[in-house]
Amino acid sequence: MPRRESGSPGFLACRSPSGPFRIRFDGIQITGVDLQHPAVRQDSSRLTFPLRQNSARLLPPTLRRAVRLLDLYFSGGRDPFLDDACFSTAGLTPFTVNVILGTRRIPPGDVATYTEFSRMLGLAPSFRRAVGGALGRNPFPIFYPCHRVVGNQTPGGFSSGLAWKHRLLRHEGVTLG
């Protein structure tokens, strides 16, 4: 993911069937998605999915594309796949970026264990803890679906809380035991 110079920062508070969240941006790129941020609970009425016609027309182009894709996703459609250049990875290590990018290999409706996912990345199974740590630093949940990586007998972790992980997986047709 290439890095770009920052513009004016801001955020877009959203409400979805899975819960409220906000998208942070620097004027050019998305800098994060906060699923459990305190401000989200207080100001979650700015944009609601499914979208009303033309409700995203005044947003910057990257955010407008992101919002349209999220609208399709939350309406039961496809993954919200944006070009990697739409996301700022400033502050992330190359290993973390590679792990986060790799989550797109897991299709909606599927999950992979940390060991399986490590192998998908070409890493030894012993890297599963490092992979889990990198997934915990994913600033772009939903867009890079780290919620699809689970433990052998448990749901595993999720930086935004297990309730969010279960809601996103349930939205994609996956129920964990």
Q: What angle do CA 121, 18, 23 make, to 5 degrees?
A: 70
Question: How many CA atoms, within 13 angstroms, populate the side-chain half-sphere of residue 175?
Answer: 1
Task: Please choose, from the candidates 106, 102, 68, 100, the residue with its C-alpha nearest in 3D space to the C-alpha of residue 87.
Answer: 100
CA-nearest of 161, 163, 165, 129 to 147 is 165
Which residues make beta-bridge pairs with 13? 22
Structure tokens at 78: 């496809």
Q: Catalytic: which of 146, 149, 168, 169?
A: 146
Is 146 an active-site residue?
A: yes
**Which are the catalytic amino acids?**
146
